[in-house]
Structure 1
Amino acid sequence: MRSASTTLRRICGRHSSPASICSQYRTLATFVERDIVILRQKSNQDNIIVSKPLNPANKINTHKGDISHADIIGKSPRDLVTSSAGHDYRIHTITLAEYVSMTRRLVTPIYPADANLIVSLFDLHSSRADEAEKIEILEAGTGHGALTLHLSRAIHGANTQCPKPAPVSEGTDDLSATEQESTDEQTECDDAVTAWKASRKAVIHTIDISPKYSKHAAKVVAGFRHGLYADNIDFHVGDASAWIKSEHARRDSEEPFLTHAFLDLPATHDHLSAVASALKNDGILIVFNPSITQILDSIQKIKREDISLFLDQTLELGNNGSSGGKPWDLRAVKPRASIKAQTTEHSSDSAQSSGSEAPSETPQELNQAITRDPAQTLKEIKPEDSDWTYVCRPKVGERITGGGFLGIFRKMNNPVRP
């Protein structure tokens, strides 16, 4: 039996666009059509221009004169190109960080520093080995597609290359034998691509409630390096919880299938139960919220509905991605006054029943009740306990910069029940 990669090469090789294949492996010795480049004015490095995909028939209009795309194609990175007004611009390869920050946006992107932090928190390790666990990541809230691209880059090594089939010729009536053979091969190629997608070792399911945003994000992803990372991603439109339910039905199984999940939604806590049902044991869920109180909403929801997740850590992001993640102390505690009152009441009851004075709780024991393991403390809160409150404060030692909060949760198969 032929391997999937052999079949794809035999069937799809001549139907694939050379630019789309070679761009994945070529070093950018020279710029070719459909590349996106950055131009910096030689005399003013702050004057930055991001080109559209290069096309020999197009040009870039600037207040310093026009620059033809044809003059850029064939040049190497850091070469100079001269505008029609005689001003020199240096050509640069656009990085992923520059691309997601400078491309046209409909929503605010997750900035590169924050996206890199999120990817590192997922601790992704991809492999093509048959015995390797398949990586399936849910990103709810596609937005601009910035984090989508960073995640796809992280898992890209797990998947083999998928050649793109050539577009089907219009007007298939009265085809010659050669044309009919070509059409049959293209149909077989499409089937092979479908089979390749089903055999991927790593995939990102990204979903957005807005068709407009999802379409724009797909365009953003396809525009970077000729769609280098696009094949790792499946775009969906709709509600995250509804998609998880439909995915369980499609797979005809209630078994968890996600290894990681990221939620960037207005009401994150409403989707925790559905995500937990799809997340594998010890899988990581990261929620992004503008305020710390929204992270608390998720914690309270988890406790109230006994969802099999626990809070691993809470981080504060910096403005415009300037911070590497500031840790916060977020846990449930019972105030000392409440503990003393309960201790006094318990001592009184014990004295009346036994006729002897009960030993009082030491200050060290009272302090231990507050500084104990926060994850365990959260598990022990009962809904009827009204004396519990929440510690919600940044940990000392670093400057607060603001910018949003990450709640990092983990799935546990056997939650500790109070």
Structure 2
Amino acid sequence: MLRQCKRSHKQILVGPLQVDKSYETHKGVLYHKNIIGRQPRDRLYSMTREGNGAEYVLHTPTLEEYVLLCKRQCTPIYPKDASAIISMLDINPGDRILEAGTGNAALTMHLARAVGISGKVHTVENIVGRSKHAKEIVQHYRRGLLLPSISFHIGLLSNRKGGNLIAPLFDGLVLDMPTPWTQLPFVFAYLKPDRYAVCYLPNMSQVLDLVRACQRWPLILEDVVEVTWRSWELRMAVIRNQDTSQSNGDAMVCHPTHTPIGHTAFLVKLRKSSTAAIK
């Protein structure tokens, strides 16, 4: 990942790196060959017809930065929600997690890091092209670091085209789909007793429909959460008198950033209270 020096908030994700490839920006061209072999914190320039363009600092992207900057085919589950889901599922290393709705694999990778190399995330996606794109995203993150902990499946859980997902039972379920109540009767049997399922729903009307459906099933509504994340800006500033030639000392500017804080989704936490099948 490259961060523009004069605009530290401007970040560019470049890769996979190939000697004959380049990345074009409005500040010039970044040639892959000039990045290959460099170390984090090294500096380099984009190239223009006149010579050097903008200066950049090279970084290794965090998982949060990677899922936000990589190419997407749909809206990802943002890191703030992914972190909350992992906490709500009470995930431990070695757990087996079933995810319905792979999307861009943003949550998939967070889940894989939580279960570790001894665990497994089985993620099911009904759209073939989206599943393929998600797998490529995982492969390109730190040379496939999380890939051994993820198994990709294609199809609907209700018709079990996702492969053999029954034995052993799962330690947690995540459903990222508009109507999870249509799939819960089929995935309920895959969950261990007294363990959790989390549904990711953008609208409260969806939450209400889900809660109504759960009244007919052996599922306990544990919690409904909306996660907010607010960044603050802190920097040094100089206090000046009316006479601008005189400085009255340093001070700290402290206020929320101007980045909009928008709603993403409601997280609905359900607990399995019985081994009886949902009808």
Same fold (TM over 0.5): yes
Give the equivalent residue in structure 2 for 1:345.
Answer: none
**Match status 1:303 vs 2:215:** yes
The structure, 1 or 2, with the larger RCO (C-alpha pairs under 8 Å, 6+ apart) is 1
**Where do 5+ consecutive residues of structure 2 fail to align?**
232-260
Q: Is the 8 A contact 2:84 2:227 kept in 1?
A: no
- For 1:61-210, list aligned pairs within 5 A: 61-84=24-47, 85-87=51-53, 88-127=55-94, 135-158=95-118, 202-210=119-127
**Match status 1:53 vs 2:53:** no
Q: Is the 8 A contact 1:101 1:111 kept in 2?
A: yes
Q: 1:403 to 1:58 in 2, by over 3 A?
A: closer
Letter in 2 for 1:277: A
**Secondary structure of 1:247 counterpart:** coil
Q: 1:401 to 1:226 in 2, by over 3 A?
A: closer
**Secondary structure of 1:298 counterpart:** helix
Give the equivalent residue in structure 1 for 2:253.
Answer: none
What's the offset of the Cα at 1:224?
0.3
What's the offset of the Cα at 1:299?
2.2
Alignment: residue pair count: 243
Give the equivalent residue in structure 1 for 2:270.
Answer: 409
CA offsets per residue over residues 106-146 of structure 1, 9 Å max, x none? 1000011111111121121215xxxxxxx221100111110
CA distance in 1, matches of 2:195, 2:162: 18
What's the offset of the Cα at 1:92?
1.3
- Structure 1's consecutive aligned runs of 4 or more residues displaced over 6 angstroms after TM superposition are none
Q: 1:46 to 1:316 in 2, by over 3 A?
A: closer
Give the equivalent residue in structure 2 for 1:130.
Answer: none
TM-score (norm. length: structure 1): 0.54
Aligned-residue Cα RMSD (Å) equals: 2.3
CA distance in 2, matches of 1:246, 1:90: 44
Q: Is the 8 A contact 1:317 1:401 kept in 2?
A: no
**Secondary structure of 1:74 counterpart:** coil
Give the equivalent residue in structure 2 for 1:312.
Answer: 222
CA distance in 2, matches of 1:271, 1:65: 49
2:144 corresponds to which of 206, 216, 227:
227
TM-score (norm. length: structure 2): 0.80
What's the offset of the Cα at 1:237?
1.1
CA distance in 2, matches of 1:271, 1:78: 47
**Match status 1:273 vs 2:239:** no
Give the equivalent residue in structure 2 for 1:389.
Answer: none
What's the offset of the Cα at 1:57?
2.1
What's the offset of the Cα at 1:41?
2.4
Q: Is the 8 A contact 1:143 1:208 kept in 2?
A: yes
CA distance in 2, matches of 1:401, 1:43: 27
CA distance in 2, matches of 1:315, 1:292: 11
What's the offset of the Cα at 1:40?
2.1
Which of the pair is proportionally richer in helix? 1
Greater Cα offset, 61-70 or 284-293: 61-70
Q: 1:401 to 1:74 in 2, by over 3 A?
A: closer
Instruction: Give % identity.
Output: 37
Q: Is the 8 A contact 1:276 1:308 kept in 2?
A: no
Give the equivalent residue in structure 1 for 2:128.
Answer: 211
CA distance in 2, matches of 1:322, 1:267: 30
CA offsets per residue over residues 24-47 of structure 1, 9 Å max, x none? xxxxxxxxxxxxxx2222233243
